[in-house]
Structure 1
Amino acid sequence: MQFNNNAQAIYIQIADYVCEKILLKEWPPDEKIPSVRELAMQMEVNPNTVARAYEFLKQQEIIYDKRGIGYFITADGNKNAAAYRKLEFLEKEMPLFFRNMYLLGIEPEDLKTKYEKFKKQYS
């Protein structure tokens, strides 16, 4: 995974990656997810960074751990991941997006057709 050094902390970027897997339904509720070491190897980061991401996701009630077995998606993991990501988007990404729209003279109507086309790709 390519990390954005100018954006959020790496553990938050890893948490976002996990949320994306959940929201795309690649990791369904109650499914075991990669161990800290497995994900650290996949992402080429220190296991402590993944452990910190998993602890953050536990606090958000997106994942839970079964001692000695591993980490799993909570029953409400999809809902909680969506709520977390939505809040992050509205507070951090949306203001920059609106600023760029304003600077470039883009109106909301200009986006409607493009957004509908985008949605069809993922339906």
Structure 2
Amino acid sequence: MEFRDNQAIYLQIAEYICERILLNQWTIGDKVPSVRELAVQLEVNPNTVMRTFDFLQQKEIIFTKRGMGYFVSEEAKEKVLAFRKEEFLGNELPVFFKNVHLLGLDFDIIKEKYEAFKTANF
């Protein structure tokens, strides 16, 4: 995983986990890789992964079973959607709108590009 400079690594790892949940790669009750496994896989410090897991637990996206590890919560998908929508609408969409305005882009072109993106990727 390549990390961006403009966001904390633990939040980028949280996005990675949330994306797996939204794509149904990890579903309700699935065991999440351990802190060590994920740290090795993503080539980060285990403390960073632990910070991610703490963050996701606070958001009620994952939960822990004592001695067994972390698991995807029953309401994970809904919680992820709510969290990601809030982040997108508050942080990314204003930048997008600014660029649309500055570049004089037409929403018909954006819609066409969006449909092509969906077809190619999903």
- Please classify the TM superposition score into its range, dividing by the shorter chain length: over 0.9
Summarize deviations over 1:33-82 as a string: whole Å, max 9, x none: 10011000111111010000011001111100101101000011111111
Identity percentage over the alignment?
53
Instruction: Provide the residue aligned with 1:94 in structure 2.
Output: 93
Instruction: Provide the residue aligned with 1:68 in structure 2.
Output: 67
Equivalent-residue separation in structure 2 for 1:115 and 1:3 (angstroms): 25
Give the TM-score normalised by structure 1.
Answer: 0.93
Equivalent-residue separation in structure 2 for 1:25 and 1:54 (angstroms): 19
Equivalent-residue separation in structure 2 for 1:100 and 1:88 (angstroms): 18
Equivalent-residue separation in structure 2 for 1:103 and 1:74 (angstroms): 42
Following superposition of structure 1 onto structure 2, how do residues 1-123 of structure 1 map, counting pairs within 5 Å?
Answer: 1-5=1-5, 7-123=6-122
CA RMSD of aligned residues (A): 1.1
Equivalent-residue separation in structure 2 for 1:96 and 1:89 (angstroms): 10
Equivalent-residue separation in structure 2 for 1:44 and 1:116 (angstroms): 34
**Count of aligned pairs:** 122
Runs of 5+ in structure 2 lacking a partner? none
Give the TM-score normalised by structure 2.
Answer: 0.94
